[in-house]
Amino acid sequence: MNRLLAVASASLILSLSLAACGGGGGSSSSGGGGSQSAGFEVPTEISAVPTNLSGSVGGVTKPGLKSKLSALKQAATDPNTDYSKAVTRKYVNEHTLEQFDIIEEVLAALAQTNYADEANVNQGPYKAMVSFQDEQNGVQTKSLEPWVVDSAMIEEDGQDVNRVRVWIDEADINRLIKAEFKIYQSATRKEDGSYSDYGVWKLNVKFGDSPDSFFAADAGVDANGRSVIRINERQTESTDAPPHEMKAIMNRSETDGYGKVMFPDWESCHQPDCNPAPVVAKYAYNANHLALQKAEGAVQYKDRTSVNDMTHRYGLFDSTTGQDIMKTKSFGFPVDYTDGEGRHRFAYYGAWQGRHSLWSDGGTIPQGTTVTRQDRGPQQNAETYTVSAPFVGTLTKRTAVAANVNDVKGIPVETWVNSNFELRYLASGPDGAGWYECTHTFDPDTGFFQQNCASKFTAFDSLIVGENDNRKFVNINQCNGCDQNNPPTNYVYLADGPSGAGFYVGTFDSSTGRTTATSTLYTPSDNEFLWVNIGGSIYIMYNGTGWVEKTLTGFDTETWTPEFAPSETGDKPYTMPLDREFYINSRGANYIVKRTSTGYEVKIEIQSTANPVNASTFVPTGTVFKSSWSPDTESTFEFVTDPNSANFMKLVYKTIGQTDQSSNPAPQVGQVVTNGQWGLVAYVNGNQTTNQFNWDYPREGDMWGSQQYLKDASNNYVLLSDPVRLLPVTLTNNAGEEKSLALQYDGWMHGLPDLFHELFKNGHVMTEDISNKIINIPAGTQVTDADDQTKGYLVKPLEVSQFLAVLENDPGDLDISVADSIDLNSVPVLVDHNMGDVPETDGVKYSEGILVE
């Protein structure tokens, strides 16, 4: 979604996305004539630069896949199965040219109405539920809206024209969007799912009654055979604010093209009331290269023959029949309701990894509200439900699946450290002179602590804190007869100090908690000691041969993204403690890593969620939850499974441990746990199990951790389908490294690397490092249901973006000034289509493009 839509108000965002979804301009003759019975098809992908078939594929599966597919006798991939008919949409991802995404969203949404099907042309108006799937800050989101559609074949000057009219009633803000689309010629699709041309059409969208809020666009072919798309968007938010305008023109062929866009420069805005000035960007390309320039900035060049594919969305299909599993699974559906102010509103009932929620303009829906399901056809009875009370707090069970330590190679993970120990210098230690790490064990026979300094200390690198590292703290001091007049001496370990490696006298700053080294090297005498306290967080990573601690050079709190020194100079050896579990939550997968005496134990974690129906079996009777690190001293908990209890589906205190006893106020037995708990171990009737659980509890103003359900007329909870869990599958990334992944599917494929933040931090520019981490699942990959291993599925990419490699120098074969010839004032203006009121319809005919039976 482009920047303009992202910054507009919530209703405006929705309006533009929806309204921009149908329409066309110009007057036309009336009637339902035309010489053909089916309509013309518009493209579902718009990219200013054509895709390139040289894109990297990645994600190669293990040998033997082709033979497995042959064993299926190609039934799933026969013509006319859901699998074979599913279209892979490819486009070139260029952040500077995202303004063209608006028209792409329009066309992709319009295609969900099946307006061109013979069964819909000249058959009168019908209702379709149209979905919008997006990625916002790396989080996949989805919304649905009802459209009333009327598709007809008419004649203009003796030519067949597919006229599509769309009405979107925004009752919550008392605005009706009317859009008219006239299609004169279908788009031409290429073998890879992209388009060689975009057809011929006109689009006119009117937002309410104001002539100052509209969206107009058209597509055609110029004298040189290039596709030309022109866009004119104008939004007026209030009478005392200037309108936001966007204009864009592209001239596009397979081998060359150019274009220009004007848009509000929201990236220059850093205040809520900012009104960004417009900025102009232009581009040109040929068969091999692309040139881009924003405003008066430097021209950036990219290589069209060096391409990286990244799949954003997949489909999952029955491996025998080819049927889309979305036809047999219900991961969510749209509803409508009337709010407390009498406004007609829409919401979406969905589940993410089993967590049920109702989404309505980013807010919750009050308990007891009656909602009506909106994906039911005219032959079906309307289903109404009642909204349940919210369940604040969510209990999740963590199931571990075996993996390999190489699966976490190259993934820096933040881990918290709290280490306190004594270093003692021994002139005649067991392994010679040097510093020894000492332990102190209490001897009940003598009543004293026994000191053991048998291990020579070698992990000096762990005592080093980077100059810009504000997340790790190391305090080293020595106290010989300390008192008020004789404070402890502070030290800093330097690997490359003025007098070589060693401990240097330091100056402690109590306001920052940091110590700065002086030039004075400490020379210890026999049996002198230092106290070491390491706290905060560090980043560790497995590099293929061992573990290293990364050197932090910066930390972006906005995206919660660390920045590291180059591995060659910044990586320090790190010894992972024995039998301690480390949780690596990154790139779409959750790993548990533990170093044992024989190597590493690595597992992939999959979570399942307690709900009001499975609560009694999700947690067996007699279950007590204990801390995994201090089971004998910390508080214990139990999960309430009695539906008649006021604390049903809540985690409550069973006993109060030492830490909680000292809190103010201290919790009481039976009280609800109002803070998150991680890694709870389940004990059933006193016996420890291998199951671990998390208790997610939302902070104030946060919805994460809460659930809400719908209830039917019999007061039964309406549960959506659980995500389809798949057995671990071995895939290969672009670096050629095999990765074992445990995937889940609920319309989105969970468990793959999530590289959004890495691209965001790098200005949306693909690098070799980012590309190497990409895993694309090839079309036809066979996977197996983890809960029912007799079921198999085929995976197919549905949405793929291509990133072009950046060139350091001008290739010398492009003249970007060709784009200067474009006149942005030549974009189309709104032509009022004079559409009437919303036609009456009977039920919903399509939901997300699928016929409602």
pLDDT one-digit tens code per residue, 651-666:
999 999 988 998 889 9
Q: Is 271 a member of any domain?
A: no
Between 345 and 503, the higher pLDDT residue: 503
Q: Please tell me the predicted confidence (pLDDT) of residue 14.
A: 25
pLDDT one-digit tens code per residue, 222-266:
888 889 999 999 877 666 666 788 999 999 988 899 999 998 876
In this prediction, residues 749-777 reach a mean pLDDT of 83
Q: Is 57 a member of any domain?
A: no
Q: Record the tokens describing residue 381, joined without a space.
A: 């009875």
Q: Please tell me the predicted confidence (pLDDT) of residue 413.
A: 83
Q: Do residues 283 and 97 make contact, with C-beta atoms less than 8 angstroms apart? A: yes
Closest CA to 292 of 45, 98, 50, 97: 97
Domain boundary among 662, 685, 707: 707
CA 443 to chain centre: 53
421 with 459, same domain: the answer is: yes
524 with 638, same domain: the answer is: no
Number of compact structural domains in the chain = 4
574 with 674, same domain: the answer is: no
Q: Indicate the pLDDT class of residue 558, thresholds 50, 70 and 90.
A: low
Q: Is 297 a member of any domain?
A: no
* Gap between the Cα atoms of 456 and 430, Å rounded: 8
Q: Indicate the pLDDT class of residue 172, thresholds 50, 70 and 90.
A: low
228 with 343, same domain: the answer is: no
Q: Please tell me the predicted confidence (pLDDT) of residue 618.
A: 93
* Gap between the Cα atoms of 553 and 561, Å rounded: 11
383 with 442, same domain: the answer is: no
* Gap between the Cα atoms of 749 and 793, Å rounded: 13
Q: Is 451 a member of any domain?
A: yes
Q: Please tell me the predicted confidence (pLDDT) of residue 139.
A: 41
Tell me 810's DSSP state: -
Q: Please tell me the predicted confidence (pLDDT) of residue 296.
A: 86
The proportion of the chain whose per-residue pLDDT surpasses 90, expressed as a percent, equals 39
Q: Indicate the pLDDT class of residue 361, thresholds 50, 70 and 90.
A: low
123 with 237, same domain: the answer is: yes
Closest CA to 537 of 624, 598, 469, 484: 469
pLDDT above 60 (res 22): no
Q: Please tell me the predicted confidence (pLDDT) of residue 154.
A: 94
pLDDT above 90 (res 743): no
Domain boundary among 672, 707, 742: 707
Closest CA to 22 of 123, 162, 174: 162
In this prediction, residues 454-465 reach a mean pLDDT of 90
Q: Please tell me the predicted confidence (pLDDT) of residue 12.
A: 24
Q: Please tell me the predicted confidence (pLDDT) of residue 177.
A: 87
Q: Please tell me the predicted confidence (pLDDT) of residue 140.
A: 47
Q: Is 535 a member of any domain?
A: yes
Domain boundary among 586, 616, 637: 586
Between 291 and 412, the higher pLDDT residue: 291
Q: Indicate the pLDDT class of residue 54, thresholds 50, 70 and 90.
A: very low
Q: Please tell me the predicted confidence (pLDDT) of residue 271.
A: 64
**Residues pairing with 419 in the sheet:** 534
pLDDT one-digit tens code per residue, 299-343:
999 999 988 999 989 999 999 999 999 888 888 888 889 888 888
514 with 656, same domain: the answer is: no
Q: Is 783 a member of any domain?
A: no
Q: Please tell me the predicted confidence (pLDDT) of residue 203.
A: 93
Which range scores top for mean pLDDT: 248-252, 485-489, 556-560? 248-252
Q: Please tell me the predicted confidence (pLDDT) of residue 72.
A: 42
pLDDT one-digit tens code per residue, 396-411:
998 887 888 887 888 7
* Gap between the Cα atoms of 755 and 770, Å rounded: 7
**Residues pairing with 418 in the sheet:** 535
Report the length, in residues, of the chain: 853
Q: Please tell me the predicted confidence (pLDDT) of residue 710.
A: 96
The proportion of the chain whose per-residue pLDDT surpasses 70, expressed as a percent, equals 86
Decide the pairing of beta strands 394-402 and 599-609. Answer: antiparallel
Domain that holds residue 510: 412-586
Write the CB contacts of 158 (distance below 8 Å, at least 6 apart in sequence): none
256 with 170, same domain: the answer is: yes
442 with 516, same domain: the answer is: yes
120 with 242, same domain: the answer is: yes
Amino acid at 734: N
Q: Record the tokens describing residue 820, joined without a space.
A: 């200067």
Between 220 and 63, the higher pLDDT residue: 220
* Segment 816-822 long-range contacts (CB within 8 Å, at least 24 positions apart): 816/258, 816/282, 816/283, 816/284, 816/291, 816/292, 816/293, 816/299, 818/258, 818/284, 819/258, 819/259, 819/260, 819/282, 819/283, 819/284, 820/282, 822/249, 822/251, 822/258, 822/259, 822/260, 822/282
pLDDT one-digit tens code per residue, 71-88:
444 578 888 899 999 988
* Gap between the Cα atoms of 253 and 250, Å rounded: 10
Mean of all residue pLDDT scores within the chain: 83
386 with 419, same domain: the answer is: no
Q: Please tell me the predicted confidence (pLDDT) of residue 66.
A: 35
pLDDT one-digit tens code per residue, 795-824:
999 989 899 989 999 999 999 999 999 999
* Gap between the Cα atoms of 4 and 236, Å rounded: 12
Q: Do residues 148 and 125 make contact, with C-beta atoms less than 8 angstroms apart? A: yes
522 with 650, same domain: the answer is: no
Q: Is 442 a member of any domain?
A: yes
Q: Determine the angle formed by the axes of helices 101-111 and 10-19, rounding to 10 degrees.
A: 60
How would you class 698 by CB atoms within 10 Å of its CB: exposed for 0-12, middle for 13-18, buried for 19 or more? Answer: middle
- Which region, left, alpha or beta, applies to residue 138 given φ > 0 means left and ψ of -120 to 50 means alpha? left
Q: Is 732 a member of any domain?
A: no
